[in-house]
Amino acid sequence: MSERPAPIGPITAVTFTAPDLHAVREAYAACLDYRVVTEAEVSATQARDWGAPAIAGRPMLQLAPAADDDFRFRVIEASATESVPFASHGWNAAELIVRDVDALARRLDDSPFAIIGEPQDLSFSEDIRAMQILGPGGELLYLTQFKKPVPGLDVPAPRCDVDRTFIVILGGPSMDALQGFYADRFGLPRAPVVESRVKGMSAAFGLSPEHRYPIAALPVAGQSLIELDEMPVAAGPRVTRDGELPPGIAIVSFASRESRCLRGPAGELLELVAVA
């Protein structure tokens, strides 16, 4: 009998690198109310499992929202490396559920976070309002408010002003390959594909802001989703130094019934964390 696919979800952690962990700590505390829950060094086992032996022994922070410790940003010290969101394959952004995106925009003005997309209602629903920011490590975050429940979208209610990541955005060369991997490996049903604007991707490739891309939203357990974006043919793998993690968002962790790390079809690194 073939092995049953291992279900995944919710999203439990998003890992990125940054040259200055103190700057990250201060920015996330002052602007997003995230707090340090652990300070440690990357173990040799972690570095091996992530395929990044050069980062063993590096300082590492874990930051959690004010409400709970069930989601964490894991930040690992690394020298500065330019990373342009939506310019290469892999994890391109993390989307956080928030209470009031316009109030956050005012709070983030003249802060260490660069606002690259002002708050606006989404084109397909005036009940969803979002903005985009770049953090101190070059990580791209979406801050999203649901004004009221939207039929067909099972998302968490924010428990604090800036709560957990509930969507991660993955870009790759082939929608069919992306959907096939997550269907075969985790038993996720293939999601409907729609054509949508992705302004960050258009800016990265010099295309019209109105250019539309095939995207699909895969629901995983725990009111979380993986957004799949089919990228232009000019996109390629993220440039990564030997033995290091890729710049920008490097790893996404999911609760699962097994513990392991694996690579997806766009070179994305997934960490599965066993839960009882």
Query: Using an 8 Å Cβ cutoff, are 75 and 17 in contact?
Result: yes
Identify the CA nearest to 64 among candidates 168, 162, 169: 162
- Please compute the mean of the pLDDT values over residues 118-132 and round it to a whole number: 89
Tell me which DSSP letter residue 248 carries. Answer: S
7-33 pLDDT tens trace: 899 999 999 999 999 999 999 999 999
Could you tell me the residue ranges of all domains in the chain? 8-274
Question: What pLDDT is attached to residue 5?
Answer: 65
What is the per-residue pLDDT for 80?
74
- Spatial separation of the C-alpha atoms in residues 246 and 188, rounded to whole Å: 26
Task: Give the list of residues 6+ apart from residue 163 with CB closer than 8 angstroms, or none.
Answer: 65, 67, 71, 96, 97, 98, 156
The CA distance from 250 to 252, in Å, is 7
pLDDT-based confidence at 107, cuts 50/70/90?
very high
N- to C-terminal Cα distance for the chain? Answer: 24
| Topology classification of domain 8-274 | 2,3-Dihydroxybiphenyl 1,2-Dioxygenase; domain 1 (3.10.180)
What local confidence, expressed as pLDDT, does residue 210 receive?
Answer: 87
Average pLDDT over residues 259-276: 94
The rounded distance, in Å, linking the Cα atoms of 15 and 180 is 25
* Contact between 34 and 49 (Cβ < 8 Å): no
Which amino acid does the sequence have at 203?
A
Name the maximum alpha-carbon separation found in the chain: 59
CB of 248 closer than 8 Å to CB of 83: yes
Query: What letter does residue 234 receive in the DSSP assignment?
Result: T
Residues 6+ apart with CB under 8 A from 2: none
